[in-house]
Amino acid sequence: MKTIIFATNNQHKINEIKFIVGSQYQIVSLKDAGIDIDIPEPYDTLKENAFAKSSTIYKLTQQNCFSEDTGLFVEALTGEPGVRSARYAGEENDPLKNMEKLLKNLVAETNRSAQFITVISLILDGVAYLFEGVCRGLIIDAPKGTNGFGYDPIFIPDGAEKTFAEMTNQEKSLFSHRQKATAKLVAFLSQNWKLPSLN
């Protein structure tokens, strides 16, 4: 089985990506690869932050790898929290505080439209590629559900009646931004990642 490094320390994302990929590839986390670094995400776009992570790990290991960056973009807040989604309420990256701040900022708003965007940055044999997945939906007034992570308890995707946090992994994968981006990644790898020649 082909092995690829997933450049993240977020166990929730590792679990979700592994569920999506299944047995097609062996996904190796930074921890599993023996890499103990926290890669900064200083840029203003998901694409730049995702590439910063994948390029850092590729330079360090010279192994095929990918990373992802995800943001929640709320229409009434002109795109907030966006690229700062994980640290919306502070650098401690506290999901509950992030949700509290978002809901407080939306109290007077009737427009609850939002979208999750995931960008995956792949480096395969030294060449960089990008894949994007988008999930549109609505922000509800109070958290519901205990599954998922991040803003999942307050986000209902279009076409669903439950929040991401009320869904099983299988249900979430029908709508998920991360699923859409990862499906593009897997399709690309199946077409372009060839075993080295024995000649």
Q: Which residues are catalytic?
A: 69
d(CA 164, CA 178): 12
Hey, what are 66's tokens?
Answer: 């990918």
Spatial separation of the C-alpha atoms in residues 83 and 61, rounded to whole Å: 27
Neighbours of 152 (CB within 10 A): 24
Give CA separation, 80 vs 25, 54, 99, 127, in Å.
34, 25, 12, 32
Query: Would residue 11 be called left, alpha or beta, if left means φ above 0 and alpha means ψ between -120 and 50 degrees?
Result: alpha
Task: Please say whether the beta carbons of 21 and 34 come within 8 A.
Answer: no
Radius of gyration of the chain (CA): 17
HEC-encoded secondary structure of 14-67: HHHHHHHHCCCCEEEECCCCCCCCCCCCCCCCHHHHHHHHHHHHHHHHCCCEEE
